[in-house]
Amino acid sequence: MSALARADAIEKEARVDRIRFLEKVRDSYFLIGDEYYRLAIELEDSGDVKKAKEYSVKAEFYLTFSLSIKRDVEELRAQMNSPHTPHDDIGLGGDI
């Protein structure tokens, strides 16, 4: 295996690991946001409107961040599936 092929394999493995990590972070933020949302509903039902609003804002923050990470993961996957290689950026791709 050539040095470039090994470098490509290492980079792909690193991207896969990064995607897995980001998916776990995304899921965690979604669950936190969902829990804040549920707490906000309970607080509103119990009459604590001020605390419900506070938790609602937190829920929106975590859910928005979760969606942002989701877009990042989709972009990374698209980059992995494109025919572009990292060596194209520095002129090492194609015929060497």
pLDDT digits (tens, 9 = 90+) for 59-74: 999 999 999 999 999 9
Token pair of 84 as six digits: 């572009």
Average predicted confidence (pLDDT) for the chain: 88
The pLDDT of residue 8 is 84
Cα angle 12, 82, 84 (rounded to 5 degrees) comes to 80
Place 1 in a pLDDT band, splitting at 50, 70 and 90.
confident
Give the contacts of 77 (CB within 8 A, at least 6 positions apart).
19
pTM of the model: 0.74
Backbone conformation region of residue 2, classed left if phi is above 0, alpha if psi is from -120 to 50, else beta: beta
Question: Mind spelling out the 3-state secondary structure of 77-89?
Answer: HHHHHCCCCHHHH
pLDDT tens readout for residues 8-34: 889 889 989 999 999 999 999 999 999
What ranges do the domains of the chain cover? 3-82
Place 94 in a pLDDT band, splitting at 50, 70 and 90.
very low
The pLDDT of residue 95 is 44
